Amino acid sequence: MTKLLVGSIDDIDVKGSRTLRIQDKDIALFRLSDGEVLAVENRCPHKGGTLSEGMVCGKVVHCPLHDWKVDLRSGKVQEPDEGCVDTYEVEVDRSSGAVYVKL
């Protein structure tokens, strides 16, 4: 398991996201309104839409292409659609603000 320092929590706007590419994977990091930071594969299982561009509502992101709803904790797509995305473990050092992604 590799632990990667990807940036600081202030690099991500609240309810916003940033992207990164690690080892051929496109990953989207989301900072939720309660402070939690979650990371998922940046690719909607429907038609490959970039989830990082979607709207965050609670713990769910709405894909910008066709509004599929992806739960950022589990990676699962919400009803009535089906599918799931890879999720990645994130660690946030609250004192320094450093954000780590574990692969």
Partner 1 sequence: MDKTKKKLVLVGNGMAGVRTIEHLLKLAPHLYEVTIIGAEPHPNYNRIMLSSVLAGGASLSEIVINDWDWYKENGIRLLTGHRVTNVDAKAKKIVTDKDVTLHYDSLIMATGSNPFMLPLPGADKQGVIAFRDIKDCEIMMETSKKYKKAVVIGGGLLGLEAARGLLHLGMDVSVVHINSFLMERQLDQTAALMLQNELEQQGMKFLLRKNSSAILGRKRVTGLAFTDGTEVEADLIVMAVGIRPNVELARSVGIEVNRGIVVNDWMETSEADIYSVGECAEHRGIAYGLVAPLYEQGAVLAKRLAGVETAGYTGSVTSTKLKVSGVDVFSAGQYDEPPGSRALRYQDEIDGVYKKIVLRDDKLVGAVLFGDTGDGAKLFSVMKSGESIKGREKELLLGIAPGQKGADPAERLKQLPDDEIICGCNGVSKGAIADAIMNKGCASLGDIKACTKASASCGGCKPLVEGLLSIYAGDNVVKAKEGICGCTTLDRDEIVAEIKRMRLMNVKEVMNVLEWSNPEGCSKCRPSLNYYLGMLWPEEYKDEKESRITNERYHANIQKDGTFSVVPRIYGGVTSPTELKKIAEVAERFDVPMVKFTGGQRLDLLGVKKEDLPKMWEELGMPSGHAYGKTLRTVKTCVGSTFCRFGTQDSISMGIRLEKEFERLNTPAKVKLAVSGCPRNCAEATIKDFGVVAIDGGWELHVGGNGGVHVRATDLLCVVKTEDEVVEWAGAFLQYYRENAQWNERTSNWVERVGLEAVKDALAEPEERAELYARIRKTLDLTTDPWKQIVEDGSLRKNFEPLAETQTV
Q: How far is the CB of 47 from partner 1 (least distance, A)?
A: 7
- 21 vs 94, beta carbon nearer partner 1: 21
Q: Is 5 in the site for partner 1 (CB under 8 A)?
A: yes
Q: Is 92 in the site for partner 1 (CB under 8 A)?
A: no
Phi then psi for 60, rounded to 5 degrees?
Answer: -120, 140
Which position among 16, 35, 83, 97 is part of the footprint of partner 1 (CB under 8 A)? 16
Beta strands in 1-103 (DSSP E): 3-8, 17-22, 25-31, 37-41, 55-57, 60-62, 69-71, 87-92, 98-102
Residue 80, preceding peptide bond in cis (omega within 30° of 0): yes
Which position among 48, 83, 86, 89 is part of the footprint of partner 1 (CB under 8 A)? 48
Phi then psi for 84, rounded to 5 degrees?
Answer: -155, 160
CB atoms within 10 A of CB 88: 18
Q: How far is the CB of 2 from partner 1 (least distance, A)?
A: 6
Residues that bind partner 1 (CB under 8 A): 2-7, 11, 13-16, 18-22, 29, 33, 47-50, 53-58, 62, 64-65, 67, 100-101
